[in-house]
Structure 1
Amino acid sequence: MSTTLSSDVMQLLREDLRDFAGYRSARSETSAGTVWLNANEAARANQADSGGSLRRYPSPQPEPLRNALAELYGCAPESLLIGRGSDEAIDLLVRAFCRPGIDAVLVTPPVFGMYAVGARLHGARLLEVPLHEGADGFRADLGDIAEIALTQAAKLVFLCSPGNPAGGVLSIEEVLGLARRLSGHALVVIDEAYVEFADAGSIVAGVASQSNVVVLRTLSKAHALAAARIGCAIADARVIEALRRCQAPYPVPAPSAALALSALQADALAATAAVIDEVRRERTRVAARLAGLMEVRRVYPSQGNFLLVRFHDAGAAFEGLLAAGVVVRDMRAMPQLGDALRITIGTPEQNDAMLAALRRIEVAA
């Protein structure tokens, strides 16, 4: 990490946490030895633990996995914090940087709901700058975002690229420009949960030059490890260290870490790349088929592994799909999406089943 970065970013941390050391677990204090009697662990393995290793607490930040993720994402290991999916990183950011009742979190609805949930749980004010709908889909007005963030004392600005559920991507240069404008005022957090499916690249390289940028990544989507709960935050090393002090003592279960490390080997990554290619092809095919249905009002362009679709009767479409055993996400409660469903891109066979169910609904209508 560059030593020329401004120190302003640490002034954003809650003042009462600037000298907070956090909890130091037994495993973080000492990792060497042959007879371990420091963590009050069980002396013998559980009968159900065939490998005999689960009686020991795991490494708080398993170094092999941290190094592998850093190589995958193109950042320094000290700039990366592993957590329980992106959700934990969202929670930690609000906890560490927002004073309850004083600081604000800015979001751009319709967007992933956990940003607002994190703000609510920690007593932060919530600012909303809605996405604007146009001929090319939904877009964020970064000028409006900057103005409201500055005037309404936002500490965190959450952006999602590709957007969930809107599907669009943000310009990396424009986001870095926003971060420069908010330097000393707010962290700009870019959630890249779906970036592997996008034409555009990641903003991770920008972290090295802009200390108030935080990037969220996950192995849940493209890498198909949702149940393992492995995600990470990538940021200035000082921000990462501050988040680590606020994190639970043992956030990464050893079986999940081992599975994730295996999934980052060359052969597994090659297989993942092939699956991503299939998803991208299917996304194009399914979008065209959906657009040809009479009950569909609009299919939005998407850079994720899903499509946002407006229906003339979204309720009938949702119930009809459910009756056929096809479960999609009902988006009607979200701002601006009262007639929309979000459909994940599945296998070709699953996608065909979904399309056939919608055709049957049309015939019956």
Structure 2
Amino acid sequence: MSPTLLARAKVQQLTPYQSARRIGGQGHIWLNANEAADSGKFNLDCERLNRYPECQPPQVIQAYAAYAGVSPEQVLVSRGGDEGIELLIRTFCEPGEDRILISSPTYGMYAISAETNGVHVVDVPLTAERQPDFDGIIERLDEVKLVFLCSPNNPTGDLVNRDGLLRLLNAARGRALVVVDEAYIEFCPEHSQAALLADYDNLVIIRTLSKAFGLAGIRCGFTLASPEVIGLLLKVIAPYPVAEPVAQIAAQALSEQGLVLMRNRVDEINRLKDELARSLLQHQQVREVFAPNGNYLLVRFSPGSEMFARMSRAGIILRDFASRPGLSDCIRITIGNRAEMDAVLNVLQKEQ
């Protein structure tokens, strides 16, 4: 018997998440994965590499709690925000019985993590204004355990409306958890919903060091929630989720000096993003530039395939979202360094 036939039926049917690395491409300027253009420099102490790491390194937990404005008991560190998403599904959803809710188009790993774990997905698409359909979500709260909202939303860049979120949180009390994925919040920190954790024990926030901190390669993310929710997640998480070198780098990134480095990086990315947005809006093939709240811009070209091909010929690898509902001709451009943005602008200007 083929090993494939021994796998769970759901896994046999599953289409894996098409990450930027899996899709790949040929080029020398990689602007398809929302990575930072640099990471900074860090020191490693190798004296303890012979020992298993702590499950939740105190120096990382305390530093992130101070940064996020919450208590250490409200913080869990994991292998990227993706593990936080999966832990929530594994902790709160019975396979084959329970459901999560998403609002497409949005980050693909919510659905993939659910499907991998045998959990059903309810999709209440974004409205024409690219906001969660709060009325539609509230109507279906009794069907689901978890509601995933992404703010800024990947790939559109839109922020969740606070009044709508408050209405949802109040409606979901005792019925479902509302998970707000803030992977890109450092690029618009004034719009974080972390302050609401003090009043809503059904709110969960996902964070990461992959974007603004420039540390996608170490896979370090955080879940912020009530101590009760964190305690439940700690029952499910692997014994050693954070490698010792990762913990050391994360603690340095969250130091006072590390936070200054991160904020300077964010300022530069936001400046370059604004410059690119202005140039795009003047381009004859650009029909729409979506909300500029992350470290990327989603752009609707006319046609998108032709622009994607032109960039590819110039060695610039972007992310094509044309196959997603409502995103025909849309391409996502990660904001890189100035030289990379100049290369993008050069292609845009060359063939107008």
TM-score after normalising by structure 1: 0.82
Deviations 1:100-154 (A, max 9, x none): 12111100111000000011011111111111234xxx2222121111233xx11
Shift in Å, 1:336? 1.2
Which of 272, 275, 279 matches 2:262?
Answer: 272
Deviation at 1:319, TM superposition (A): 1.7
Detail structure 1 runs of 4+ shifted over 6 Å in the superposition.
none
Other structure's SS at 2:299 match: strand
Decide which of 72, 85, 94 is 1:99's aligned counterpart: 94
Does the CA contact (< 8 Å) of 2:321 and 2:330 recur in 1?
yes
- For residues 228-282 of structure 1, what are the alpha-carbon distances to aligned partners after superposition, in whole Å with 9 as ceiling and x for unaligned? 1110101111111111110111000000110111111112211211111111122
CA distance in 2, matches of 1:149, 1:313: 39
SS, match of residue 111 in structure 1: coil
Match of 1:14 in 2: none
* Matched ranges for 1:116-265 at <5 A: 116-134=111-129, 138-150=130-142, 153-198=143-188, 200-265=190-255
Deviation of 1:177 after TM superposition, in Å, equals 2.4
Alpha-carbon deviations, 1:53-98, whole Å to 9, x = none?
A: 2121001000011000000001110111100110000000111111
Following superposition, the deviation at residue 199 of structure 1 comes to 5.9
TM-aligned CA deviation for residue 334 of structure 1: 1.5
Q: Name the residue aligned to 1:332.
A: 322
For residues 80-95 of structure 1, what are the structure 2 equivalents within 5 Å? 80-95=75-90
Match in the other structure for 1:115: 110
| Rounded Cα–Cα distance in structure 2 between residues aligned with 1:276 and 1:52 | 33
Structure 2 CA distance for aligned equivalents of residues 199 and 299 of structure 1: 21
Q: What is aligned with 1:27?
A: none
Q: Distance in 1 between matches of 2:258 and 2:75?
A: 22
CA contact (8 A) 1:199 1:303 kept: no
Deviations 1:142-170 (A, max 9, x none): 121111233xx110000000111111111
Amino acid at match of 2:105: P
d(CA) in 1 for partners of 2:262 and 2:91? 34
Q: How is 1:5-20 mapped onto 2 (pairs within 5 angstroms)?
A: none
Instruction: Report the structure number with the largest CA radius of gyration.
Output: 1
Taking a change above 3 Å as real, the CA distance of residues 123 and 356 of structure 1, as seen in their structure-2 partners, is same
Q: Cα distance, 1:50 vs. partner? A: 8.7
TM-score w.r.t. the length of structure 2 is 0.85
Q: Is 2:296 the partner of 1:306?
A: yes
**Aligned counterpart in structure 2 of residue 320 of structure 1, from 272, 286, 310:** 310
Instruction: Quote the Cα distance in structure 1 between the aligned partners of 2:297 and 2:210.
Output: 18
1-structure distance, mates of 2:239, 2:197: 26
If asked which structure has higher relative contact order (CA below 8 Å, sep 6+), I would say 2
Correspondent of 1:297 among 275, 287, 290? 287
Residue number in structure 2 paired with 1:287:
277
> Is the Cα contact below 8 Å between 2:131 and 2:161 reproduced in 1?
no
1:61 matched residue in structure 2:
56
Q: Secondary structure at the match of 1:200?
A: helix
Unaligned runs of 5+ in 2: 1-43
Give the secondary structure class of the aligned counterpart of 1:139: coil
Note the C-alpha offset of 1:172.
3.0
Query: For residue 70 of structure 1, what is the aligned residue in structure 2?
Result: 65
Contact 1:65–1:261 (Cα < 8 Å) also in 2: yes
Q: Contact 1:219–1:225 at 8 Å: present in 2 too?
A: yes
Answer whether contact 1:169 1:200 (CA < 8 A) is retained. Answer: no
**One-letter amino acid of the structure 2 residue matched with residue 312 of structure 1:** S
The amino acid of 1:92's aligned partner reads L
- Cα distance, 1:190 vs. partner? 0.2
For 1:124, the aligned partner's letter is V
What is the rounded CA distance, in whole Å, between the counterparts of 1:333 and 1:250 in structure 2? 38
Tell me the secondary structure at the aligned position of residue 223 of structure 1: coil
Paired residues of 1:89 and 1:216 also in contact (CA < 8 A): yes
Q: In 1, distance between residues paired with 2:279 and 2:291?
A: 13
Deviation at 1:52, TM superposition (A): 4.1
1:213-240: CA deviation from partner (whole Å, max 9, x where unpaired): 0000111111111111110101111111
2:181 and 2:207 in contact (8 A); partners too: yes
Stretch of structure 1 that moved more, 86-95 or 168-177? 168-177
